[in-house]
Structure 1
Amino acid sequence: MEYRIPPGTEAVEKLEDFIVVNRLAPNTRIPSERDLCEMWGVSRTTLRQAVDTLVGRGVLYRVNGAGVYVSVGKKNRNMVGVDSMVGELRQQGSILAKKIISVRKVEATKQISKKLHVLLGQEVYEYILLRKIDDVPCFLETTYLDCERYPDFEKYYTDKTSMGRILKNVYHRKQISGEEHISVTYASEQEAALLEIIPDSPLFFTSGVVKDEEGVIIMYYKQLIRGDKFKLVSRIESE
């Protein structure tokens, strides 16, 4: 009996071979859905499933309204150590940039007051940031800091400055340790638009606090991380 490769699996293999044979560089747009269907004689449903599979593996990525592109591959997001992500990505040769979507002073909710160890209703800074890696939006981050402990913080922190350096050099608070929790969520329409993905795409959701050398909580943060661009890694070292 002759074994036949399922159409979906065959389409995935054809796509992977097409990328390799044609030596498509990262961030190169692949041919249109129509052209690939005609080239291989497969249905659009089958091709879309194959693209979805490779997007999930981090081989391809979608840009809303612009097509499907070859990915640079998933990067590591180290879960151990404060600011380790930024340092490791730079070591990997990535170009990092951020954009402050909004900054405002808000009253601490019950959750924020518990995380920051401040009074309920106390004024805190809320920063919403979009972080890009190699010009691709990958992180949507919300950070909260105590206004009383860090007065005039908004005067120092911009798209071009480092939060860690400002805390260290201006407020003499060094980020030493932290606690982080992780789960999986799905992108809302607004989140998807900012991250340039389709709504309901899977995202990693991380939240945690950062502490200084005295164990005092510096900030509380929440991050949405594109699942097609990152894998989360935790390093364990034996004593």
Structure 2
Amino acid sequence: MQNLNVGIATSSMTHTGCVREKNEDALIALPKSGIWAVADGMGGHDAGDYASRCVISHLYQAAANYQGQALVDAIPSVIQAANTELYRYANSISTESVIGSTVVVLVLENDRYHCFWSGDSRCYLLRDDTFTLITRDHTEAEELLAEGILSLEEIKNTPAANTLTQAIGVDESPYVDYICDYIYEEDRFLLCTDGLTKVYSDEQLALRVDANNIDKINQSFLTGALDAGAPDNLSSIIVSL
């Protein structure tokens, strides 16, 4: 549903897709607190739905206790707390058990945006008709590309290269990337799990995300993904200033 608070419009969507038996994605969209996030429980691992909801639950608790810069400052420790809960729970099952989740978090604070992420859930920024990916996937593909070992074309034909290199819950201490910059009038952010980007290229997302009605954008994302077979759970949040 779309919410409006001090000029910020938000629309969120999550769906199981056509293949998975359950939805292992989770999200938070709280315009009044200035925080949005999507999380994706790691497919093929134990309790992926529990993992994503654990991360989002900790973010909800933070939003209830902090706002503004205090909320920004709290995010790293909040993610660490979720990481510790998942890591200990997995170890209580067995030493080989892995319960993990990706996450991407957006916090708007005064005239800045703050983005935290671990894994391959993404945040894009639409500004002045330019659609930019402001996060970088934590995958083997990105590492191989950065090191010049594989080209973009070669990576497309190497499915194993998309293996996650970072996620919440898989190690005692999580690796969390961070970016901060100024916000401007009419900025629009898109947060999404890889269930969306498996179906749509960046170019296809850009063609859809600048429509006036953000609820219709999310409905278009969902309808198109389902028509294409939606091989994974998919979630998206649009934050429009």
Query: Fold conserved (TM > 0.5)?
Result: no
TM-score, normalised to structure 1's length? Answer: 0.24
TM-score, normalised to structure 2's length? Answer: 0.24
